[in-house]
Amino acid sequence: MTGPTRTGDHRGMPVPDGVEGERIDAAIARMFGLSRTRAAEIIAEGNVTVDGSTAAKSDRLEAGTWLEVTLPPPPEAPTARPEPVPGLTVVHEDADIVVVDKPVGVVAHPTVGWTGHTVLQGLLASGVELATSGAAERQGIVHRLDANTTGLMVLAKSEAAYSVLKRAFKERVVDKVYHSLVQGHPDPLRGTIDAPIDRHPAGDGRWAVVAGGRPSVTHYDTVEAFRAASLLEIKLETGRTHQIRVHMAALHHPCVGDHLYGADPMLAERLGIGRQWLHAVRLGFEHPTRGGRVEFESPYPADLEAALERLRED
């Protein structure tokens, strides 16, 4: 099997060992490190042929046939332009770091296809100067939260802080504590989920517990139990995309309001929740330049607090 190639390349090859009999969209995704959705788009655009004939995504690859793939160049990364972000709160700022409380509906940095607010744009609009290490559209970003997950994020202002914080997250020495309201009652009430995560085989933007995925570890403890749901405190050892949401769904206790991962829409409607009930409530780490432990806390946003009050009234 060939390894990942440069985008924009045209490659011809016999069908590699290990993908015979596979659907062509799944094989292309594996061979070139793409999502299955992107592989299907490339096939639909006529950029994949088998023995000279344009392929369909459901075709199966046969040994001995000649495969040609043209990978279009990726779209240009969006630039970060200053733009005020309502509700974005600076919790702490010094010469090297800035800690923010991120509101709902905001992503960390600009991405292809995203037209809403970003943390990065909001800080630039406030005059905060961030580290320039890494990609231009990700200045100072050392970790991220989903658009509809609220709570604490730290960003680097100095190059020294950026390097130290990136290493701290990689080495798992940053304490990331979340609270989540999940459906039902986990059994046991306190536990650890150690299950690998990778892209969902459906290639539809979801992630899933998948054999051979990246190691992923989540610790949870029940804080408060209600008739239909449980409030959990969750600590992450790893930081995979959608990790909490995927792990809780794998336990059959999805985050309330998380329709992408199978949450009951009726419960969310009853509680007035229009997004997953998930909040980054505490963040702790060694200060990257001056040393010493720093810790920050974030109160629940109004919509999450209101949902809890409705449950308590029940």
Which of the residues are catalytic?
146
How far, in Å, CA of 314 to CA of 294, rounded? 38
Report the run of H or E that residue 276 belongs to, with start and end: none
Is residue 67 within 8 A of residue 81, CB to CB? The reply is no
C-alpha atoms less than 13 angstroms from C-alpha of 248 in its C-beta half-sphere: 41
Within 8 A by CB and 6+ apart from 116, the residues are: 105, 106, 107, 147
Return the SS3 of 170.
helix
Contacts of 233 (CB under 8 A, 6+ apart): 177, 178, 179, 220, 221, 223, 281
Are 60 and 22 in contact by the 8 Å Cβ rule? The answer is yes
